């Protein structure tokens, strides 16, 4: 009896194990079939949506196309943005090449051409050397020009090698020599030094002269300059606005021609018979370029000035400025600032004080 019971129990266990194995095999088979089915469905889905999970390269191009199409269909702005971003990548960057661009602000130069070179040819020569033409100084066959920063040295050499060109030089900056602020005659120590006090009240000038003051402009409304300021020019802006936004030019004009014996301000050296022509070549900071000074000299000599006063300084020598002054002294007198003689060789050839 026990034996039969034992044999029956073993049979049940075998049957149970067999069923478990069959169940496990069935589950495994279903899992495999499900996996295969899901993969096939995934490929079908990818085909419908336009993407591929099996080919990375296809994913790249298909995704780009889909995005571009979506961008074009939805908003024109997005499409424009995508194109702009693509075009901003420098050509050849994938090969490690770069494009050199100028660095720093433009650098100013003065070019002097040989006689007989037309204005059109001058401008073409400047442009061919990567320069930008500025103001023409036709009377001296000169041009103020600029070159891109960082490459101006090479560009200037290229222009200088042109057969039409006589010289190329940097357009140097000039600065006011000082800022007189003395408004009391008792402290005008310079007047007795030139014998002014012995002449005033004794000699009445019968002649007249126009003094062109190349400076920061002149305040024509100043009480001490009543009636002595004539028309001039603002060389910097190319206009007739010669108002003084610094004060230095007005002070210099006062030293020259301030009204005398009027109970205010100072006494002008030229107490009668003198007019002041303001020619603005310096900015509100008292700074200016040689090219503007040269244009100012030319303007003064062609508009009736008898004397040109330039009360500014710079130790740098400029052949172009010297050429302009040499031409000017044929008709006018040139004066320079008081004090130590500037290291500008051109001044050695000119009168250094008003007589």
User: Where do the domains of the chain lie, and which CATH numbers do they carry?
Assistant: 2-70 (no CATH), 107-171 (3.30.70.80), 175-349 (3.40.50.200)
pLDDT average, residue stretch 208-224:
94
Number of CB atoms found within 10 A of residue 251's CB: 26
pLDDT average, residue stretch 172-198:
70
pLDDT average, residue stretch 57-68:
40
Location of structure tokens 């004066």: 335
Rounded Cα gap, residues 153 and 161, in angstroms: 12
Q: Out of 15-19, 51-55, 150-154, pick the least confident.
A: 51-55
**pLDDT at position 104 over 60:** yes
The predicted model scores a pTM of 0.60
- Would you list the DSSP string of 247-286? SHHHHHHHHHH--SSSSSS---SS-SSEEEEEEE-S-TTS
pLDDT average, residue stretch 297-303:
94
Give me the residues paired with residue 113 across strands: 165
pLDDT at 194: 80
Decide: 133 and 316 in contact? Cβ < 8 Å. no
pLDDT average, residue stretch 276-293:
95
Nearest to 212 by CA among 289, 300, 311: 300
pLDDT average, residue stretch 252-262:
88
pLDDT average, residue stretch 107-125:
97
């Amino acid at each position: 009896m026990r034996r039969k019971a034992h044999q029956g129990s073993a049979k049940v266990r075998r049957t149970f194990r067999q069923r478990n194995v069959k169940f496990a095999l069935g589950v495994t088979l279903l899992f495999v079939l499900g996996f295969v089915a899901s993969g096939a469905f995934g490929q079908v889905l990818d085909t419908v949506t336009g993407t591929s999970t099996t080919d990375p390269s296809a994913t790249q191009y298909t995704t780009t196309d889909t995005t571009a199409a979506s961008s074009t269909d939805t908003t024109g702005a997005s499409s424009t943005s995508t194109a702009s971003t693509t075009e901003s990548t420098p050509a050849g960057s994938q090969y490690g090449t770069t494009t050199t661009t100028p660095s720093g602000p433009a650098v100013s130069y003065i070019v002097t051409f040989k006689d007989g070179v037309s204005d059109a040819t001058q401008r073409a020569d400047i442009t061919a050397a990567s320069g930008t033409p500025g103001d023409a100084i036709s009377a001296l066959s000169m041009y103020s020009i600029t070159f891109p920063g960082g490459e101006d040295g090479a560009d200037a050499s290229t222009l200088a090698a042109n057969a039409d060109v006589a010289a190329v030089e940097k357009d140097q900056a000039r600065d006011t020599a000082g800022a007189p602020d003395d408004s009391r005659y008792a402290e005008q120590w310079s007047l007795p030094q030139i014998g002014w006090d012995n002449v005033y009240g004794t000699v009445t000038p019968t002649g007249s002269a126009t003094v062109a003051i190349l400076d920061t402009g002149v305040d024509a409304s100043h009480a001490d300059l009543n009636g002595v300021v004539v028309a001039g020019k603002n060389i910097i802006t190319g206009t007739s606005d010669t108002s003084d936004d610094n004060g230095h030019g007005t002070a210099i004009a006062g030293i020259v021609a301030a009204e005398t014996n009027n109970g205010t301000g100072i006494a002008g050296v030229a107490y009668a018979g003198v007019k002041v022509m303001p020619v603005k070549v310096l900015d509100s900071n008292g700074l200016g370029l040689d090219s503007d000074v040269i244009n100012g000299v030319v303007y003064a000599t062609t508009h009736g000035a008898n004397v040109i006063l330039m009360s500014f300084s710079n130790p740098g020598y400029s052949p172009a400025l010297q050429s302009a002054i040499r031409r000017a002294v044929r008709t006018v007198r040139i004066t320079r600032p008081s004090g130590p003689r500037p290291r500008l060789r051109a001044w050695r050839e000119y009168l250094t004080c008003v007589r």
